[in-house]
Amino acid sequence: MPTKQLWHPSQEFINSCNLTRFANSIGFEPPNYFQLHDWSVNNKAEFWRNVWEFANVSGNRGESILVNEENFLTSTWFPEAQLNFTENLLQGNDDDVAIVSVTELGVRKELTFSELSQKVAQFANELTETGVKSGDRVAAYLPNVAETVIAMLGTASIGAVWSSTSPDFGFHSAIDRFSQIAPKVLIACDGYTYNGKQFEVSQNVRSLERNIESIKRVITLNFLSRQTDDFDSIFKREENSWEYQWFPFNQPLYVMYSSGTTGKPKCIVHGAGGTLIQHLKEHQLHVNLDNQSTIFFNTTCGWMMWHWLVSALASGSTILLYEGSAFWPSPKALMQMIDSETINVFGSGAKYYSALEKANVKPKTDLDLSSLESMQSTGSPLAPESFDFVYRDIKNDVQMASISGGTDLISCFALGVPWLPVHRGELQGPGLGMAVDVFDELGNSVRSTRGELVCTQTFPSKPIGFWNDPEDREYRSAYFTKFSNIWAHGDFAEINAKTGGLMIHGRSDAVLKPGGVRIGTAEIYRQVEAMSEISEALCIGQNWNDDVRVILFVVLAPNVKLDEDLRVQIKQRLRKNASPRHVPAKIIAVQEIPRTRSGKIAELAVRDLIHGQDVVNTSALANPECLSSFENMPELLTE
Amino acid at 279: H
Q: For residue 179, give the H/E element and its range.
A: helix 171-181
pLDDT of 613 reads 83
Mean pLDDT by 10 residues, the chain (639 residues): 88 97 96 97 98 98 97 97 98 97 95 97 96 98 98 98 94 92 98 95 97 98 92 87 91 89 81 98 98 97 95 98 96 98 96 92 97 94 93 98 96 98 97 98 95 97 96 95 95 95 87 75 87 93 85 94 95 87 92 84 88 78 89 88
Q: Is 116 helix (H, G, I), strand (E, B) or coil?
A: helix
- CA 520, 522, 523, 526: dihedral to nearest 10 degrees? 170
Q: Is 511 helix (H, G, I), strand (E, B) or coil?
A: coil
**Residue partners of 299: CB distance under 8 A and separation at least 6:** 144, 305, 306, 309
| Strand stretches in 168-327, DSSP E | 185-189, 191-194, 197-200, 217-221, 247-248, 252-257, 267-271, 294-297, 318-323
Amino acid at 506: G
Q: CATH 3.30.300.30 in the chain, residues?
A: 511-637
Q: Are 137 and 187 in contact (CB under 8 A)?
A: no
pLDDT of 557 reads 92
Q: Are 353 and 381 in contact (CB under 8 A)?
A: no
Q: What angle do CA 253, 255, 256 make, to 5 degrees?
A: 125
Measured distance CA(383)–CA(483) in Å, rounded: 29
pLDDT of 104 reads 95
Q: Which of 64, 21, 31 is nearest to 46 (CA)?
A: 64
pLDDT of 241 reads 67
Number of Cβ within a 10 Å radius of residue 484 = 8
Q: Is 543 helix (H, G, I), strand (E, B) or coil?
A: strand
Q: Are 611 and 545 in contact (CB under 8 A)?
A: no
Q: Are 331 and 352 in contact (CB under 8 A)?
A: no
CA distances from 294 to 97, 208, 341 (A): 9, 36, 8
Q: Are 69 and 139 in contact (CB under 8 A)?
A: no
Fold (topology level) of 511-637: GMP Synthetase; Chain A, domain 3 (3.30.300)
* CATH H-level superfamily of 5-495: ANL, N-terminal domain (3.40.50.12780)
Q: For residue 503, give the H/E element and its range.
A: strand 502-507
Measured distance CA(382)–CA(503) in Å, rounded: 9
Q: CATH 3.40.50.12780 in the chain, residues?
A: 5-495
Q: Is 348 helix (H, G, I), strand (E, B) or coil?
A: strand
Q: Output the DSSP codes for 289-329.
A: --TT-EEEE---TTSHHHHHHHGGGGGTPEEEEEES-TTSS
